[in-house]
A = this chain, B = another copy of it.
């Protein structure tokens, strides 16, 4: 008689924004990076993926494994997704072999349902949160004793930066040296509680056109940039050391300088790629000028910009400097969606930006996201798969 039990487990996972950037694979198949990287995990109250993993002997084997992402069936046949399924099943199968009393979940089709709480339009790299939630949810379902670092090895194979989303706070991805990637994993440099005042203001910039995907872009850089080797051999190792020190000492000025320099270095190697890759546009550059003006007006470093593979500006600042940083942008971009008005009530702009800078921001920024440093993946009793195994009605 067939066991019709529906096994379910849910987790949320956060987005992370790197302050020392991952750009370049030394092994594209295993997703092994050319350099280590370091990121800040952002609060799931503002940006998170919720994923439910379920399996059952009653699921049709012919359907195989499936993923419903934001209500749309998503292809799981890709090599990276398959690698994650395989790694997780292998570990579950080992538990089942060691303890025959365990249900044979590793043999059952997996049904995953996943949703983001932020607009895909925001163009935020959601693959990090997505693969982190994917791996964490299945690990919960399989009751794997794996640590976050062990799971980061698996998530890394789905999406490199996903390995950093298995931790909260301040997270390093160590590039490692083993050919099989067994030492290329994430660890926590400091938990969110170590430096809880860290905030991030995200200016979502509407790109005229989607740029080169980061997966192909980074390999074009590795192959053609004459400056890239210097970045990975000398610049990034120095930035990693300086950034870990800045975080341990809660030294925002040092954190900010390394963050801005590393973003500049990363985009410089993109511009040095042949043909050149440009992720930032005139609006992004206006955000840089605004941050420079804010720091100059404050007489100290209160804000740091960083840009990923797109035009959005992520601006880190400390909670106590909200007025100097957020107040200035709010003065120019107050009409946009996404402001936490309650936080802003009574904020006075301490500075009015240069007209050309303000004009570019007004014309090019499409929405705001206000968030801050946050926790890692959280187990939840909220399920996106109903008890009968069907996608939960929302």
CB of A197 within 8 A of chain B? Answer: no
- Is A182 in the interface zone, CB < 8 Å from B? no
Is A29 part of the binding interface, using a Cβ–Cβ cutoff of 8 Å? no
Chain A positions 265 through 302: 1 when the CB is less than 8 Å from some CB of chain B, otherwise 0: 10111011111101001100100100010000000000
The reply to whether A261 and B226 contact each other, CB–CB distance below 8 Å, is yes
Interface residues of A in 337-371 (CB under 8 A from B): 356
B268, A278: Cβ atoms under 8 Å? no
Q: Does A235 have its Cβ within 8 Å of any Cβ on chain B?
A: yes
Q: Which of A225, A260, A265, A271 has the most CB of B within 10 A?
A: A271
**CB-defined contacts of A276 to chain B, threshold 8 Å:** 264, 288
Inter-chain contacts of A265 with B (CB < 8 A): 226-227, 272
User: Using Cβ atoms and an 8 Å threshold, which residues of chain B touch A269?
Assistant: 227, 268
How far is B80's CA from A135's CA once the two chains are assembled, in angstroms? 65
Q: Please tell me if A229 contacts chain B, counting CB pairs below 8 Å.
A: yes
- Check if A209 is an interface residue, CB within 8 A of chain B: yes
Residues of chain B within 8 A (CB-CB) of A1 are: none
Digitize A73-112: 1 where CB-to-B-CB distance is under 8 Å, 0 elsewhere: 0000000000000000000000000000000000000000
A234 within 8 A of B: yes
* Contact partners of A229 in chain B: CB under 8 A: 230
Majority secondary structure, A binding face: helix
Instruction: Enumerate chain B residues within 8 angstroms of A2, measured Cβ to Cβ.
Output: none
Cα separation A134 to B15 with both chains bound (whole Å): 60
Q: Do B264 and A274 touch across chains, with their CB atoms under 8 A apart?
A: yes
User: How far, in angstroms, from A265 to B273 measured CA to CA in the complex?
Assistant: 8
Q: A226-B230, A226-B234, A227-B265 known; A356 and B274 CB under 8 Å? A: no
Q: What distance in Å separates the Cβ of A23 from its nearest Cβ neighbour in chain B? A: 13
Chain B nearest CB from A243 CB (Å) reads 14
Q: Which of chain A's residues 145-188 have a Cβ closer than 8 Å to chain B?
A: none
Copies in the complex: 2
The answer to whether the Cβ of A60 comes within 8 Å of any Cβ in the partner chain is: no
Is the beta-carbon distance between B274 and A271 smaller than 8 angstroms?
no
Distance between Cα atoms of A276 and B273 in the complex (Å): 18
Asked if A272 and B282 make an inter-chain contact with CB atoms under 8 angstroms apart, the answer reads: no
Residue A208 is within 8 A (CB to CB) of chain B in the complex? yes
Set of chain B residues within 8 Å of A267, measured between Cβ atoms: 271
A288 CA to B273 CA, complexed, in Å: 13
CB distance from A232 to the nearest CB of B (A): 11
Interface string of A187-210 (1 = CB under 8 A from B): 000000000000000000000110
- Give the distance to chain B from A170, nearest Cβ to Cβ, in Å: 22
Q: Does A136 belong to the interface (CB within 8 Å)?
A: no
Chain B residues with Cβ under 8 A from A8's Cβ?
Answer: none
0/1 string, A8-36, CB within 8 A of B gives 1: 00000000000000000000000000000
In the complex, whether A231 has a CB less than 8 A from a CB of chain B is yes
Residue in B closest to A257 when the chains form the complex, CB atoms? B274
Chain B residues near A281 (CB-CB < 8 A): 282, 285
Given A226-B231, A227-B231, are A292 and B264 neighbors across the interface (CB < 8 Å)? no
Bound CA–CA A180/B324 (angstroms): 50
For the A-B complex with A226-B238, A227-B231, A264-B276 known, give 17 more contacts whose Cβ atoms are closer than 8 Å.
A209-B356, A226-B230, A226-B234, A227-B227, A227-B235, A227-B265, A227-B269, A227-B272, A230-B230, A257-B274, A261-B274, A268-B268, A268-B269, A271-B271, A275-B292, A278-B285, A281-B285
Listed by A's residue number, 28 A-B pairs whose Cβ atoms lie within 8 Å are A208-B356, A209-B356, A225-B268, A226-B230, A226-B231, A226-B235, A227-B230, A227-B235, A227-B265, A227-B268, A227-B269, A230-B230, A257-B274, A260-B275, A261-B274, A264-B272, A264-B273, A264-B276, A268-B268, A268-B271, A268-B272, A271-B271, A275-B288, A275-B292, A276-B288, A278-B285, A281-B282, A281-B285
